[in-house]
């Protein structure tokens, strides 16, 4: 049998019909750590980062990894060691950056709903920039910073109103999205920011969406952003850095997004042409740094033939890997052993959760039997980080592969971990009286 196609994943390959990530035979990892299991390739992440770094050679650029894509500490540690900063969206993510040895000065804080406590925490840590998403947030941030005797560094997220041509749930740059400040309100909002005593305007940012596979939305957004920089600076407010957000897509199923260096060659040419090529630039890539570096290994539990459909029931589910259930997202699913002699059949690959939405792949042709091991591909981004313990299913372990070495970077959760913070209600007579 010819081994299945492996879209996107640079470090994944069959050797003697057996699936390897870098130099690691994945079936061995499944055996030693159990399934479901996330496995990431360090080399694939460094390769993805390198494509950006090549594209930016000779420029002033800070890459801030959007850690919502995958916030496992070891991955943050790896990116911090490479000089990356981080795009965070919560106080919890800031704590992760600190725990992983990241530099708070290279942190930018995005998100429409920062709480006062999170603002204080980020100011105390000395983060590099708040990406502010509303006029109301500007006022609150100024008050808090002033009370602390500080001036918060701010950038305003503008909504360039361009169509990123991606899934509606992950398109963020259109007028009817909750994100950013409308194009028309931008200069007025900057004027207000410049007046507020607790703020220091440092930049401008936008983020138009995720899994973008075309160049045009980026070029359009850049033009609109530069028009705004021009207008803001004409109003006497200096913009030190320009942040283009994240969003570059990856290959899940024959998708053909531009390579990071090729895309940035185009964008930098546009910046140069408009005279902004020497500015401090920032980007916030998430998916494109980690998405195709990871797989989720799962074991076939049962095959269930049906009149309409055949089901392949596996031990991973929508709680471990929610993208198919949430976005009808496609993830390739391939066997770890491609030499298996079972008859190939078409299956819906589903998990054990009590929901019809619990599927990982539909109508996949597979040669499997109970006990077969499968890999769900392109599972490095927005899979583990979006996981839950729904149905009281403990979260999977995670392994980082580095050549022939494999490091356990997250131990499998235990069920007692899941309900550690829960309490039974008191049952003594005294407690009953209090309730009565
Ligand atoms: N910056 C901001 C402000 C963002 O909101 C995001 C992602 C990024 C950067 C990183 O975007 P990326 O480079 O990863 O496309 N859960 C969805 C994706 C949600 C993206 C949310 N924002 C999915 O699984 O497809």
Give tens-digit pLDDT for 206-247. Answer: 999 999 999 999 999 999 999 999 999 999 999 999 999 999
| Cα–Cα distance measured from residue 130 to residue 124, given in angstroms and rounded to the nearest whole number | 13
Does 434 reside within a domain?
no
Beta carbon of 331 within 6 Å of any ligand 1 atom: no
Does 389 reside within a domain?
yes
Same domain, 122 and 270: yes
Does 3 reside within a domain?
no
Same domain, 370 and 414: yes
Atom of ligand 1 nearest to the CA of 110: 3
Beta carbon of 210 within 6 Å of any ligand 1 atom: yes
Beta carbon of 323 within 6 Å of any ligand 1 atom: yes
Beta carbon of 284 within 6 Å of any ligand 1 atom: yes
Q: What is the mean pLDDT of residues 347-365?
A: 97
Beta carbon of 285 within 6 Å of any ligand 1 atom: yes
Active site includes 129? no
Q: Which domain holds residue 145?
A: 111-283
| Cα–Cα distance measured from residue 391 to residue 70, given in angstroms and rounded to the nearest whole number | 22
pTM, entire model: 0.96
Distance in Å, CA 209 to ligand 1 centroid: 7
Distance in Å, CA 80 to ligand 1 centroid: 19
Question: What are the Cα distances from residue 133, in Å, to 73, 118, 142?
Answer: 27, 15, 14
Query: Does pLDDT of 435 surpass 60?
Result: no
Give the pLDDT of residue 253: 97
Does 74 reside within a domain?
no
Within 8 A by CB and 6+ apart from 304, the residues are 310, 311, 312, 313
Distance in Å, CA 432 to ligand 1 centroid: 49
Out of 87-101, 163-177, 211-225, pick the least confident. 163-177
Same domain, 297 and 279: no
Does 436 reside within a domain?
no
Strand order in the sheet with 12-15: 12-15, 18-21, 24-25
Tally the C-alpha atoms within 13 A of residue 368's C-alpha that lie toward its C-beta.
30
Give the pLDDT of residue 110: 98
Beta carbon of 170 within 6 Å of any ligand 1 atom: yes
Ligand 1 mutation pick, 246, 248, 260, 378, max ligand atoms within 8 A of CB: 246
Query: Does pLDDT of 93 surpass 60?
Result: yes
Collapsing DSSP states into helix, strand and coil, what is residue 184? helix
Looking up residue 252, the CATH number of its domain turns out to be 3.20.20.10
| Cα–Cα distance measured from residue 224 to residue 161, given in angstroms and rounded to the nearest whole number | 9
Atom of ligand 1 nearest to the CA of 323: 24
Q: pLDDT, tens digit, for every residue of 276-317?
A: 999 999 999 999 999 999 999 999 999 999 889 999 999 999
Q: What is the mean pLDDT of residues 321-347?
A: 96
Within 8 A by CB and 6+ apart from 411, the residues are 397
Query: Does pLDDT of 134 surpass 90?
Result: yes
Ligand 1 mutation pick, 204, 210, 217, max ligand atoms within 8 A of CB: 210
Distance in Å, CA 52 to ligand 1 centroid: 17
Nearest CA to ligand 1 atom 6: 246
Same domain, 277 and 375: no
Q: Would you mind telling me the total number of residues written for the chain in this entry? A: 436
Give the pLDDT of residue 360: 98
Query: Does pLDDT of 268 surpass 70?
Result: yes
Atom of ligand 1 nearest to the CA of 291: 14
Give the pLDDT of residue 162: 83
Confidence of residue 167 (pLDDT cuts 50, 70, 90): low
Same domain, 140 and 233: yes
Distance in Å, CA 188 to ligand 1 centroid: 27
Does 84 reside within a domain?
no
Same domain, 265 and 401: no
Instruction: Write 268-275 long-range contacts (CB < 8 A, 24+).
Output: 268/55, 268/56, 268/59, 270/219, 270/222, 270/223, 271/222, 271/226, 274/226
Looking up residue 372, the CATH number of its domain turns out to be 2.40.37.10
Beta carbon of 110 within 6 Å of any ligand 1 atom: yes
Query: Does pLDDT of 184 surpass 70?
Result: yes
Q: What is the mean pLDDT of residues 349-367?
A: 97
Q: pLDDT, tens digit, for every residue of 28-68?
A: 999 999 999 999 999 999 999 999 999 999 999 999 999 99
Does 85 reside within a domain?
no
Same domain, 139 and 261: yes
Query: Does pLDDT of 170 surpass 80?
Result: no
Distance in Å, CA 300 to ligand 1 centroid: 31
Total domains, the chain: 2
Same domain, 141 and 276: yes
Out of 65-69, 145-149, 365-369, 425-429, pick the least confident. 425-429
| Cα–Cα distance measured from residue 298 to residue 218, given in angstroms and rounded to the nearest whole number | 37
């Amino acid at each position: 049998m010819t081994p299945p196609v492996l879209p996107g994943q640079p470090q994944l390959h069959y050797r003697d019909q057996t699936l390897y990530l870098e130099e690691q035979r994945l079936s061995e990892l499944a055996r030693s750590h159990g399934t479901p299991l996330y496995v990431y390739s360090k080399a694939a992440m460094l390769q993805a980062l390198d494509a950006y770094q090549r594209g930016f050679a000779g420029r002033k650029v800070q890459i801030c990894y959007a850690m919502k894509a995958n916030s496992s500490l070891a991955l943050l540690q790896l990116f911090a060691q490479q000089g990356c900063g981080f795009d965070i969206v919560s106080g919890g993510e800031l704590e992760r950056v600190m725990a992983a040895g990241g530099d708070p000065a290279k942190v930018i804080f995005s998100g429409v709903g920062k709480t006062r406590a999170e603002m204080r925490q980020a100011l105390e840590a000395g983060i590099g920039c708040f990406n502010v998403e509303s006029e109301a947030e500007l006022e609150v941030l100024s008050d808090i910073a002033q009370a602390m005797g500080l001036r918060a560094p701010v950038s305003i997220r503008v909504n360039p109103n361009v169509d990123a041509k991606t899934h509606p749930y992950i398109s963020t740059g259109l007028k009817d999205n909750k994100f950013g400040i409308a194009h028309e309100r931008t200069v007025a909002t900057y004027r207000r920011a410049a007046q507020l005593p607790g703020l220091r305007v440092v930049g401008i940012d936008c983020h138009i969406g995720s899994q973008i596979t075309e160049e045009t939305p980026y070029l359009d957004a850049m033009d609109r952003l530069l028009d705004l920089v021009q207008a803001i600076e004409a109003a006497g407010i200096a913009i030190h850095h320009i942040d283009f957000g994240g969003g570059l897509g990856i290959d899940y199923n024959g998708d053909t997004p531009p390579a990071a260096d090729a895309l940035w060659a185009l964008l930098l040419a546009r910046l140069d042409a408009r005279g902004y090529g020497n500015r401090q630039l920032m980007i916030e890539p998430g998916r494109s740094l980690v998405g195709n570096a990871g797989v989720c290994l799962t074991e076939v539990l049962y095959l269930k033939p049906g009149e309409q459909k055949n089901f392949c029931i596996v031990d991973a589910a929508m709680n471990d890997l929610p993208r198919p259930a949430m976005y009808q997202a496609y993830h390739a699913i391939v066997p770890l052993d491609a030499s298996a002699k079972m008859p190939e059949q078409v299956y819906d690959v589903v998990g054990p959760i009590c929901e019809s939405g619990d599927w990982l792949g539909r109508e996949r042709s597979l040669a499997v039997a109970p006990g077969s091991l499968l890999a769900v591909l392109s599972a490095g981004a927005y899979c583990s980080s979006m996981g839950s313990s729904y149905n009281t299913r403990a979260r999977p372990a995670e392994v980082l592969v580095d050549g022939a070495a494999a490091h356990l970077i997250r131990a499998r959760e235990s069920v007692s971990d899941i309900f550690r913070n829960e309490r039974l209600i008191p049952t003594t007579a005294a407690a009953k009286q209090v309730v009565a």
